[in-house]
Structures are given as C-alpha cells and as structure tokens.
Structure 1
Amino acid sequence: MTPSPRLSAGGRAALDKWLADTNAARLTPALFVGVASKDDVLYFNCAGERVLGEPDKGSVNEDTVIEMWSMTKLVTSLACMQLKERGLVDYDDAALCERVLPDLCAMPVLLGYEGDTPKYTPRTEDITLRRLLTHTVGQAYGNRAQLRWEKENLAIQWKDPGSTTASFATPLNIQPGSSFVYGLGIDWAGILLERITGLTLDEYFRQHIWEPLGITSMSFFPTPDLKARLMQMCTRTKEGKLVHTQKLRPVKDMVPSDIKQQAGGGGLLGTAREYVTFLQAVLRCRDEDGLVSRAGFRELFTDSLPPDEAGRDCHKALEAFLKFRGYPEEMSTSRRGVGYSPGLCLNLEPSVNGRKAGSGFWFGAARSEYWIDPASGLVGLCATQLMNDYETIWSGVYSSYERTVYDAVEGVDEARL
C-alpha cells in the first residue's frame, strides 16, 4: 500500500520558517496556511495581527473569520452537483434555465454604447447550468459598458449590501458558450438551487454540507459573533503601503437583515481552518462516495470548456484572465495549461511549484487561494485579506508557499483519476 502524504522530518520547521519570514517581511496582512491529506491535517498555522497595525486587538488564530468571496463558488458548485446526482437538474438542459431562471434568460447581449444609447443584440445561444458553472454563460462581473449599464439601470447593484435577485439580472456581454467571461454565472446557479429546493443557500449548505462535516462558522450572514472574529480587510496603495479598506462590502458595518439575496458566487464568511475541512471532504470523494459520488468527483476534475475552434476561445480567454490576475506564467500560458470544470479551474499540466496535472484550484478576491491535488492526495490553502492586489507580490508569496509545501511533504500517492 502506498503511504499517505506526511510531513518530512524537517517539513514542519520549513513551513514554520516560511510563515514567520513572510509575516515579518510585511508583504501581506496576516496569513493563514494549511495543507492536508484526505484524512489528516498535516499543517495549519497563521500569523499576524487581526487588525493590521493594531496589535492590541489580537493576533489571528484558527477561529478568525475571513471574507471568502469566490471561495464560495466551489461550495455552490458542489451543491449543484448534489442536485444533479439526485436527478433534480441536468447540466445541459436549456429548458431548465428557461423555466427556473426566466429573469436571466430574458436578458439580451449588451454590445456597448453609442453615445448615451446602449446597443443590444438578442441572445441566440442556450443558457445552461453547465455554462453558469463554467463562466461561459457570457455575463461578466463588469466591463466598462456593463458597469455603466448597472449604474444607470440598477437601484441596488449585485455587489452592494441589500442586493436582491433583480440586482443580478444584468445583460450578457457575449453569446453563451463562445468564451470564458468571469462573472455572475455561479450566483445564478445558486438562485437556481434555491428555486428548485425551496431552501436558501445558507439553509441548503448547512443541511447538506456544513452539518455533515461538523462545520459551524460558515455563513452568509454577518452575525455579531462572526463580526467579532473578523479580520480587517486591507488593500495595497500605489506606493506599496498596506492600508485598511472596506472595498465592495462593508461587512463590519452590516447586519444579517442586510442580506437579501445570498450570493453563491461570493457571499460566504467563515474560517480558513474550516475551509480546509471542506476541501478534505471533497478530496475524499476521489476514493469513496461522500459530498458527491466518485463519478461526480471525476467530473469536477474534467475540463468542461469547449475546444477553441469555430469562433470559440474559452481556453484562451481563461488563460488571459489568469495572467491578468497575477498567476505565474507556468500556470497559465503553457500549451493546454488550464481548463475549467463545473466547479474548479484545472491544471492540465504540472505546475513547477509542485501541483501535479489534474489539480483543481481557485481563489477569493481578497487573496485567498486553495487547491486540490488528487494525484498527490493533498489539498492546500494560503489566504489573507488583501483586496484587489493584482501585483506580483502576492503571486510570489503564494507560489513560494506552494513550493515550500511540496518540498516539505513526502509519501504523495501518485494516484490517478
């Protein structure tokens, strides 16, 4: 029997040193890092001030709450896969979306503006759950025309406190299926789940994901308890200084009643430590039915983007998005380097930093990264609270952490899907 992954003799010391050195360098606000096999947490640690520059407010710990943003997406995707495995949805059934999401399906494609006049063209391609989950439905988080349209047409925008379902009903930017456009698709997948099950996302996640895993601190609602444990959000100025911010969502000033439509694409609050528990549960499905079936697990690690041909450029657009976001070259520009499943971005080739081909990954907007590496039997996490920092500083921190992890772990099982 192949041994399970484990830390090498000096592995813990190497990870401790990496964390201490990175925190001392003040490259980021406080950091949370973890690596685990499907059954054991090999390493979890954190360092730094809960409120940057205010040590009297304490250091971060396992119970510190972070804004997860797009780390929420994998949870929503897993929930939709559960519905698929129960026979309640089909990923490629266009009639399902027409019936359940008529408010989205009524939206045209926004071509841009001529002066003050928006120019549209009718949608001619199907909206499907698969396209919602793979960011190929064509609805962006916001290009210039989209942002103008939202400002002119939405009383409350999707990113504002108090956003409603109508806040997510924005035009498409391209025809569905023609390209990868990062945006609101998984929010609509969450709305579809709510309408089919009759449960809110928070209720569904609690019943079908959190409670079975013993997770207690994940929620869409900024309760007094979660806000008391919340790490301060920061941003980096043009001069490179880390400062406090409440960009996009002032969580510490919000109350639970502010949450009208729970955002399956980015609404969760929770702890980094419990997210590692969730990632472990996903990895266990490689070998046994759990949150999803073993067949569902394989689908999570199978590229679902159409080939870049016949006017489609999904892979090319995904690679461009990753480069914009600051991922290293070797993760985004090699031949067939990345793909996207109904839940994860996929490394179709090995990463020089350690991950093997077939790994899945994504992130939250506040620099919270995670990966699942079935071939090595590992999950990893590296997270802070640093909003809109697309510079090379964070990508360097994250890449060096991944390399340190794979140098510190031995006994990877080299299993294949």
Structure 2
Amino acid sequence: MWIGSITKLQTCMACMIGIEKGLFTLDTNVREVVPELKEINILTGFEEGDFPRKPITKSCNDQITLRQLLTHTSGMIYDYGHDGLKEWSAYHGIQDNTFSGTLKGYQKPLVYSPGQGWAYSPGMDWAGRLIEVTSGLTLEQYLKQHIWDKLDMTNTTFRPDLRPDIQKRRMQMVNRNRETMEITKDCTKVLQALISKNTDLMTAESFDMLTKPQLPSDEHFLEVIRGVGQGHLGQTWDKGADGTFGFGSSISKQDFVDRRKKGSCNWSGMPGTHCWLDKETGVGGMLTTQVLPPGDPMVTELLLEMEKCLYRHTRG
C-alpha cells in the first residue's frame, strides 16, 4: 500500500521531536543548514518563444524557515500545481520521474516570496532533509528510531526493497488484503498516538502545537481549498467550508454535517489515501485506496459514507 503524502504527518512529528532535542527551531533558516537550498531563485516569467521558453528568474535572499516548510508557505510548489514550473522543468529537461525521489527533483525555483502565499509543496521533503543534516541519520532511520519502533509500526518504510524483514512478511501474506490491513494499522497507530498525546514520542505541548492553526491569514489557503484544489486537497471537506492549515494538516473551522467536528485535522495522499482526527470527539479514521488521479469522485463518496457511518455508530 503506497500511502503517498500521509507521510507528511510523520515528518511533521519528526520535526517536533527534533525541536525538543534541540536540533533546530521552527524559525531556523533552513537555507543556512541545508546546502542544496542556499541558491534558490524565484520564477518570474519566460522569454518570448516556443515552448519550452527560457525561464526568467530573480534572486531571492529571504529566509526559508522550518515553519514555512511545514505550513506550505515557503514559496515552493509541486510541478503539477503550476504551469510555470512545468515549463521550467521542460526547458531544463527534467521530465516527470526523471529525478523522482531525489534532491535534484526538488531543486526548483520558488513561485512566490517565502511567507507571502500558500501552495501545496515539497517543503516537507526539505524538512526531512533538515532532519538528516542535523541528526546524521537518514529520514527513514530517524522515523524508525523515534516513531515507528516506539509504536510497533513494523510494516512501514520508504524503501520496502531494502527491508528484508518487511519483504519476508510480505511473502508470508498470501492475501493482498491482509498486507493492506497491516500497513493501514500502522498508520492508525499514529492517529492513536496523536489523540492520546503519547509521551513516549513527544510532550503534550508538542502534540498540541502540531494540531493547531499556524497561518497568520487563511486567505491564500482558502483560495486553493475552495478553488481548483477542492477536488484533491479539499476532497473530504464540505463544499465552501471554512478552515485553515497547521503543521502538515488542514484544519476545519466548522462542524461537517454528520461527520467530523470543528477543529478536526486531516491529511491525504495522492493515491486516494485519507485520514482525519476529530479532537473534540476522539474519533479518527483512515481510508486507503490506490486510485489515481487524486480527487476521484468515487473515493470521495466512499470516504464520506465511511465517516458518516462511523459517527452514527459512535452516537448509537
């Protein structure tokens, strides 16, 4: 089961742990720590000509803080969300998947000055790189040591091909559904840790910070969540709902009809993976599919019906 950007939640948790350990702060200028981010410009346009045109950029000396990376306000954006970056990548010969999973695949210009907008982005990947540089561990090693092992998440990894223990268990799971359930169970252990504020991982204060609103203004976030991003990022939201963003999570500012309550957090992944956590009621859940492209309407309907059913059951 590929869970996609559900891993962003775990990376945010890892950052909270790193802050507690004194590796960095939310206001650390990541450009001063991560060498690959020292030289990064802002894309401002293109010269006239045929596609792909020569990009025009301007220098940017602004700080990029960890807070901005975790809240998607760093100025970064994924190619698929920005026509300009698609053309920039085409001009530089960086096609889809050419550098997938590598640092080079994310070394691209900003599309707005840090702190001056909101766009779903690979900022979390750079937060993971900050952890690696400051801890001396790979992100996988860090997550395993500080989260996965403590929660007995034995089926979670970025690279199953490099984990003989996981490969052996997968071979023993003749029924594919069983394998899927084991991975989903790992993810729900993270939700359980959040709702119970499991102090084996971090302090209660860090858990609170992780699930609280963090944006100075919701304007840019709501433009995305109510606009073209509704089908993916706002897939589980009531249409036109009010909300904000925290560290890696969308946060509702109102009750959803027959579902989660005000203040609930949610996360999603590209292949139709969704989870939410309702702090008021203590109810949370996860839906895992492997359906592309993101925003599939049947996945949306399935998630909404599952959530409504769960809340009917808890009320009963």
Fold shared per TM-score above 0.5:
yes
1:110 pairs with 2:47:
no
Bigger radius of gyration, 1 or 2? 1
Cα drift, residue 303 of structure 1: 0.9
- Pairwise mapping of residues 6-405 of structure 1 onto structure 2 (< 5 A)? 66-94=1-29, 97-114=30-47, 115=49, 116-123=53-60, 125-142=62-79, 143-153=82-92, 159-160=97-98, 163-223=101-161, 224-225=167-168, 271-285=183-197, 289-307=199-217, 313-320=220-227, 322-325=229-232, 327=234, 331=238, 333-334=240-241, 337-405=242-310
Q: How much is the aligned-residue C-alpha RMSD, in angstroms?
A: 2.6
The CA distance in 1 between the partners of 2:12 and 2:270, in whole Å, is 18
Q: Which has the higher strand share?
A: 1
Match of 1:236 in 2: none
The CA distance in 2 between the partners of 1:216 and 1:227, in whole Å, is 11
Say which SS state the counterpart of residue 276 (structure 2) adopts: strand
The CA distance in 2 between the partners of 1:339 and 1:392, in whole Å, is 23
Contact 1:339 1:347 in 2 (8 A): yes
Match of 2:179 in 1: none
Say which SS state the counterpart of residue 148 (structure 1) adopts: helix
Partner letter of residue 167 of structure 1? G
Q: Which has the higher helix share?
A: 2
Partner letter of residue 102 of structure 1? P
Contact 2:36 2:107 in 1 (8 A): yes
Cα drift, residue 296 of structure 1: 1.1
Contact 1:180 1:315 in 2 (8 A): no
The CA distance in 2 between the partners of 1:141 and 1:182, in whole Å, is 7
The CA distance in 1 between the partners of 2:98 and 2:154, in whole Å, is 26
The CA distance in 1 between the partners of 2:20 and 2:75, in whole Å, is 26
Specify whether residues 329 and 72 from structure 1 end up closer, same or farther in structure 2 by C-alpha distance, changes over 3 A only.
closer
Say which SS state the counterpart of residue 271 (structure 1) adopts: helix
Say which SS state the counterpart of residue 409 (structure 1) adopts: helix
Contact 2:263 2:280 in 1 (8 A): yes
Specify whether residues 190 and 226 from structure 1 end up closer, same or farther in structure 2 by C-alpha distance, changes over 3 A only.
farther
After superposition, the C-alpha distances for 1:74-128 in whole angstroms (9 at most, x for unaligned) are 000100010112222111232xx12212322411111232232201122254211
After superposition, the C-alpha distances for 1:129-161 in whole angstroms (9 at most, x for unaligned) are 01101111111111122122223336576x457
Cα drift, residue 195 of structure 1: 0.6
- Pairwise mapping of residues 397-416 of structure 1 onto structure 2 (< 5 A)? 397-410=302-315
Partner letter of residue 16 of structure 2? M
Cα drift, residue 319 of structure 1: 3.7
Say which SS state the counterpart of residue 37 (structure 2) adopts: helix
The CA distance in 2 between the partners of 1:216 and 1:329, in whole Å, is 29
Contact 1:109 1:122 in 2 (8 A): yes
Contact 1:348 1:358 in 2 (8 A): yes
Say which SS state the counterpart of residue 57 (structure 2) adopts: strand
Cα drift, residue 163 of structure 1: 3.9
Specify whether residues 302 and 193 from structure 1 end up closer, same or farther in structure 2 by C-alpha distance, changes over 3 A only.
same
After superposition, the C-alpha distances for 1:296-320 in whole angstroms (9 at most, x for unaligned) are 1111221111225xxx634433443
Say which SS state the counterpart of residue 339 (structure 1) adopts: strand
The CA distance in 2 between the partners of 1:175 and 1:93, in whole Å, is 17
Equivalenced residues, count: 299
Say which SS state the counterpart of residue 313 (structure 1) adopts: helix
Unaligned runs of 5+ in 1: 1-65, 233-269, 412-417
The CA distance in 2 between the partners of 1:388 and 1:302, in whole Å, is 30
The CA distance in 2 between the partners of 1:317 and 1:83, in whole Å, is 30
The CA distance in 2 between the partners of 1:331 and 1:107, in whole Å, is 37
Say which SS state the counterpart of residue 81 (structure 1) adopts: helix
Specify whether residues 135 and 388 from structure 1 end up closer, same or farther in structure 2 by C-alpha distance, changes over 3 A only.
same
Partner letter of residue 82 of structure 1? I
The CA distance in 1 between the partners of 2:112 and 2:105, in whole Å, is 19
After superposition, the C-alpha distances for 1:380-401 in whole angstroms (9 at most, x for unaligned) are 1111110114243221221111
Match of 1:256 in 2: none
The CA distance in 1 between the partners of 2:117 and 2:169, in whole Å, is 38
Partner letter of residue 60 of structure 2? R
The CA distance in 2 between the partners of 1:304 and 1:77, in whole Å, is 13
The CA distance in 2 between the partners of 1:303 and 1:231, in whole Å, is 41
Say which SS state the counterpart of residue 287 (structure 2) adopts: strand
Say which SS state the counterpart of residue 150 (structure 2) adopts: helix
Specify whether residues 162 and 377 from structure 1 end up closer, same or farther in structure 2 by C-alpha distance, changes over 3 A only.
closer
Contact 2:17 2:202 in 1 (8 A): yes
Specify whether residues 93 and 161 from structure 1 end up closer, same or farther in structure 2 by C-alpha distance, changes over 3 A only.
closer
